[in-house]
Chains A and B, each alone.
Chain A
Amino acid sequence: MYRETQIVSDVSKVPLEGGEGTFTINVGPQHPATHGVLHLVITLNGETIINIEPHLGYIHRSIEKMCESLTYRQFIYVTSRMDYLSAHINNHACALCVEKGMQIEVPARAQVIRVLMDELTRIASHELWWGAMAMDVGAFTPFFHAFRERETINDIMEETCGARLTMNYMVPGGVMHDIHPNFQKRVKDFLQLYKSKIHEYDELVTGNIIFQNRMKGVGVLSAEDVISYGCTGPVARGSGVSCDIRKLYPYEIYDKLEFDEVLETAGDSFARYLVRLKEMNQSIRIVEQLIDNIPEGDFQAKTKAVLKLPKGEFYTRVETARGELGVYIVSEGGTTPYRIKFRSPGFSNLSILNHMVKGAKIGDLIAAMGTLDLVIPDIDR
């Protein structure tokens, strides 16, 4: 499936690195456009990008190794620090894996609460991405407008889970607390706010001619590219590759819910942008279906005080805001995992960056990188 990158004609004569007329610049680890500490070494010929080399390791914390020394209850909370924008969904994947190994039956109420929180997290993550995306292409105002809605979600999280970003609400077998009595009302308020403001997103950014010119036809990825580089999530769906884990391998109650997998076929930056915007609306749909139908019952299954996974290998995957997150646990039968591997969406999505923007301008690199929605701690666990 792998095919050689196509370089635009005028650059093709220039040798890849160190050739005459080229120079290298370091973008990052401290740079306003990399949203964290990503380090890119870029070879340029004037404004045109010839090669990009991402350097990882700047915030490597060896989360996978750390998890090997933690018990099955404890390691879940460390994973909040991987993709901190969808912390709840990360925790969900880990809890699912432990439940799969222990064969714990999660109560219906807990499942609904988990899905509700997942979708709220997804909206919050996409909101932040939207603001940061606009800031990448030079519009500063949308960032603050996005935060208005995002803060509302954060407030809901704070009330029910006790924290705004790293919620730590998930335990094997359910959720830590029952939902707050105000939860349903506040979520409905949020839905109302969101619906009254969502048209502004189109007015400010989507419809803007400058923005469209910056995004359309930039960073085009074909379906083959996406599959061969292992991209998932909105990046793959922007190129027409159906890969929504919620649809393909439904977990929790996703198979009973009505929502569409958003697909765009253009494969350019604008398609990825649209996928995320539409995904927010689908998440809103899910929240609307569930918010009035939270079943009564326990929010947590009865589990043993000390969890021991049987000997074997367990793998679960969930759809985070960025793509497919896989959790792979090798258990020797003890209280701690023998080996844990996370398949994080950001790592594969970053790997396509060089392919995506070769031959483009620096401005395109920043805009296209924005559509990948990179969270660096997720890449560099």
Chain B
Amino acid sequence: MWSFSKIANSIHEWLSQTFNATWTTIIEMVIAGVAVISLFAVLGLVLVIMERKVSAWMQIRLGPNRVGPKGLLQSLADTLKLLVKEGMTPNGADKFLFNLAPYIAMIVAMLLLAPIAFAKDFQLWDLNIGVLYVSAISSISVISILMAGWASNNKYSLLGAMRSGAQIVSYELSAGLSVLSIVVLTGSLQLSEIVNSQANGWWIFKGHIPAIIAFITFIIAVTAETNRAPFDLAEAESELTAGFHTEYSGMKFALFFLAEYANVFIVCAIGATLFLGGWMPFHIGNWTGFNNIMDWIPSSIWFFGKTFFLIFLIMWFRWTFPRLRIDQLLNLEWKYLLPISMINILLVTAMAILKWHF
């Protein structure tokens, strides 16, 4: 049975035999970089078509069905169109910041991929403070949005950026706290160790009620952090036309678009890793036969399955709920999510000390 780790190991061995250690590291870095970029390109295409199909079916429509088999190549055609479009910089805009902002959004999203375990023993960088790294880097994404909004020289963009700033800074708190609850249970910040700790059951089952509360808080907070509806105030189509990316066009717009989907993928991957066991298969107690069948499914499929389930959940939110108002958004965070997750982390700590979890 093939697995990502075997492929990675064989490449590593071949490189070590052919080149010296320095060159091996450099070439591996290049390969990893190319892999990340191509993963992003594929993710962008897949998630866009997925979102369009999900929204279409929820809205009793058919969705894209003309380009390619069942319209699956639609997003490819859209990308082509965006590539050949002119990327305009408005008059009076801060040209340097305006052009820099989409790349920062993209680079932040790429950096976040580093510690994620895609399959068994398949990880770009298994650093020992993985969770901290993720929450630290993801905070940078707000800078790109603020930069875009400020540099556009457009009042709509500025309003969107300011909203986004207030929103991301506040929702970082409850997202961090709910992530922390898993760290408390595991006793480690390393993502591979967190996954390994779930070999005998995912945290959402082992941690029962507090873990479920943390999971719900996490999903709500990351939906807000990635600027997705019902928290899409930074874009708020009916209010601010397109919010912080009103003035962007062509590929620069596409980069923002791609970064949004990449961020959704990453937060869902983190959620899957922390709460749903990452690449760990689903096991039920002592059912050896059932567990063996589950083990037979490749670990990468488990990981992507869980991640895409969470992505679907976030899309489901988007196409069902109306948007919140900015003050209600902050109320929700400061009056509901933050107190709840604070009490929850106390519960989790007590649970971890008293060994109430399974």
**Given the complex, which residues of A lie within 8 Å of B58, measured CB to CB?**
141
Which parts of B205-232 form the interface with A (CB within 8 Å)?
Answer: 229-230, 232
Q: How far is the CB of A153 from chain B (nearest CB, A)?
A: 17
Is A180 at the interface (CB under 8 A from chain B)?
no
CA of A32 to CA of B237 in the docked complex: distance in angstroms? 7
Which of the segments A74-82, A114-122, A226-234, A361-369 contacts the partner chain? A361-369
Q: Does B155 lie within 8 Å of A138, measured CB to CB?
A: no
CA of A38 to CA of B61 in the docked complex: distance in angstroms? 30
Q: Does B319 lie within 8 Å of A362, measured CB to CB?
A: no
Q: Does A139 lie within 8 Å of B321, measured CB to CB?
A: yes
Q: How far is the CB of B329 from chain A (nearest CB, A)?
A: 10
Binary contact readout A253-296 vs B (1 if CB under 8 angstroms, 0 otherwise): 00000000000000000000000000000000000000000000
Q: Does A25 lie within 8 Å of B59, measured CB to CB?
A: no
Is A56 at the interface (CB under 8 A from chain B)?
no
Q: How far is the CB of B166 from chain A (nearest CB, A)?
A: 10
30 A-B contact pairs sorted by A residue (CB < 8 Å): A32-B238, A134-B322, A137-B238, A137-B323, A138-B229, A138-B232, A139-B323, A141-B58, A141-B59, A143-B59, A144-B59, A144-B60, A144-B61, A145-B59, A210-B230, A210-B321, A210-B328, A213-B325, A213-B328, A214-B322, A214-B324, A214-B328, A361-B326, A362-B159, A363-B233, A363-B323, A363-B325, A364-B325, A366-B238, A366-B239
Q: How many A-B residue pairs have CB under 8 A?
A: 83
Binary contact readout B41-65 vs A (1 if CB under 8 angstroms, 0 otherwise): 0000000000000010011110000
Question: What is the number of residues of chain A that contact chain B, defined by CB distance less than 8 Å?
Answer: 32
Which parts of A330-381 form the interface with B (CB within 8 Å)?
Answer: 361-366
CA of A137 to CA of B328 in the docked complex: distance in angstroms? 13
List 14 additional contacts besides A134-B322, A210-B324; criterion CB under 8 Å. Answer: A23-B155, A25-B159, A138-B236, A138-B237, A138-B321, A139-B321, A140-B59, A143-B59, A144-B60, A205-B322, A210-B321, A210-B323, A363-B233, A365-B239
Q: Does A47 lie within 8 Å of B159, measured CB to CB?
A: yes
**Given the complex, which residues of B lie within 8 Å of A25, measured CB to CB?**
155-156, 159
Beta-carbon nearest neighbor of A360 in chain B:
B325
Q: Does B322 lie within 8 Å of A208, measured CB to CB?
A: yes
Q: Knowing A138-B323, A139-B322, A211-B322 touch, does A145 contact B60 (C-beta < 8 A)? A: yes
Binary contact readout A1-41 vs B (1 if CB under 8 angstroms, 0 otherwise): 00000000000000000000001010000011100000000
**Given the complex, which residues of B lie within 8 Å of A140, measured CB to CB?**
55, 59, 319
**Given the complex, which residues of A lie within 8 Å of B232, measured CB to CB?**
138
Interface of A is mostly: helix
Which parts of B126-185 form the interface with A (CB within 8 Å)?
Answer: 155-156, 159, 162-163
Residues of A bordering B, CB below 8 Å: 23, 25, 31-33, 46-47, 134-141, 143-145, 148, 204-205, 208, 210-211, 213-214, 361-366
Is B86 at the interface (CB under 8 A from chain A)?
no
CA of A166 to CA of B191 in the docked complex: distance in angstroms? 63
Beta-carbon nearest neighbor of A210 in chain B:
B322
Q: Knowing A25-B155, A47-B159, A210-B321 touch, does A362 contact B239 (C-beta < 8 A)? A: yes
Q: How far is the CB of B202 from chain A (nearest CB, A)?
A: 29
Is B3 at the interface (CB under 8 A from chain A)?
no
Q: How far is the CB of B94 from chain A (nearest CB, A)?
A: 18
Beta-carbon nearest neighbor of A135 in chain B:
B238
CA of A210 to CA of B239 in the docked complex: distance in angstroms? 16
**Given the complex, which residues of A lie within 8 Å of B327, measured CB to CB?**
361
- Contact pick for B239, options A141, A145, A208, A363, CB 8 Å: A363
Q: How far is the CB of B232 from chain A (nearest CB, A)?
A: 7
Q: How far is the CB of A140 from chain B (nearest CB, A)?
A: 6
**Given the complex, which residues of A lie within 8 Å of B162, measured CB to CB?**
46
Q: How far is the CB of A99 from chain B (nearest CB, A)?
A: 42
Beta-carbon nearest neighbor of A145 in chain B:
B60
CA of A285 to CA of B323 in the docked complex: distance in angstroms? 33
Q: Does B60 lie within 8 Å of A148, measured CB to CB?
A: yes
CA of A138 to CA of B238 in the docked complex: distance in angstroms? 7
**Given the complex, which residues of A lie within 8 Å of B240, measured CB to CB?**
362
Is B320 at the interface (CB under 8 A from chain A)?
yes
Is B38 at the interface (CB under 8 A from chain A)?
no
Which parts of B45-92 form the interface with A (CB within 8 Å)?
Answer: 55, 58-61
**Given the complex, which residues of B lie within 8 Å of A211, measured CB to CB?**
322
- Contact pick for A136, options B59, B163, B238, CB 8 Å: B238
Q: How far is the CB of A40 from chain B (nearest CB, A)?
A: 12
Binary contact readout B319-356 vs A (1 if CB under 8 angstroms, 0 otherwise): 11111111110000000000000000000000000000
**Given the complex, which residues of B lie within 8 Å of A213, measured CB to CB?**
324-325, 328
**Given the complex, which residues of A lie within 8 Å of B236, measured CB to CB?**
138, 363
Is B241 at the interface (CB under 8 A from chain A)?
yes
CA of A47 to CA of B59 in the docked complex: distance in angstroms? 32
**Given the complex, which residues of B lie within 8 Å of A208, measured CB to CB?**
321-322
**Given the complex, which residues of A lie within 8 Å of B326, measured CB to CB?**
47, 361, 363
CA of A366 to CA of B322 in the docked complex: distance in angstroms? 13
